[in-house]
C-alpha cells in the first residue's frame, strides 16, 4: 500500500512540474478516459487462456518455448 501512495505522490509531483498546457492536456485526457470506459472485448474462441503472449512476451506454453 505504501508503494501505491509513493507512486501517486511521484506522479503528482511529476505532473506539477509540467507546463500549464501539458497539465490541461493531461486533465482533458483523464476526463475523456473517464467519460468513455473501454468496451468489453469479445472472447476468443479456441484461443489460448490467459494474457496475450504477443503483448506480454510470454513465449512458453506448459513449459515449452513456442514461436508463432
Give the CA count within 13 Å in the CB-facing half-sphere of 32: 6
pLDDT of 23: 92
pLDDT of 2: 59
Q: Of 42, 66, 40, which is closest to residue 54 (Cα–Cα)? A: 66
pLDDT of 31: 94
Look at residue 68 and tell me whether its pLDDT is greater than 60. no
- SS3 call for 21: helix
Place of cell 515449452: 64
pLDDT of 58: 61
pLDDT tens digit sequence for 4-63: 677 777 888 888 889 999 999 999 999 999 998 878 878 778 776 766 666 666 666 676
In the chain, where the domains are located: 1-65
Ramachandran quadrant class, 52 (left: phi over 0; alpha: psi -120 to 50; beta: rest): beta
| Those residues with Cβ within 8 angstroms of residue 48's Cβ, 6 or more apart along the chain or in another chain | 61
Amino acid at each position: 500500500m505504501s508503494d501505491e501512495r509513493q507512486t501517486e505522490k511521484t506522479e503528482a509531483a511529476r505532473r506539477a512540474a509540467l507546463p500549464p498546457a501539458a497539465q490541461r492536456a493531461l486533465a482533458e485526457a483523464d476526463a475523456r478516459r473517464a467519460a468513455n470506459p473501454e468496451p468489453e472485448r469479445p472472447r476468443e474462441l479456441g484461443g489460448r487462456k490467459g494474457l496475450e503472449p504477443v503483448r506480454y512476451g510470454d513465449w512458453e506454453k506448459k513449459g515449452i518455448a513456442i514461436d508463432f
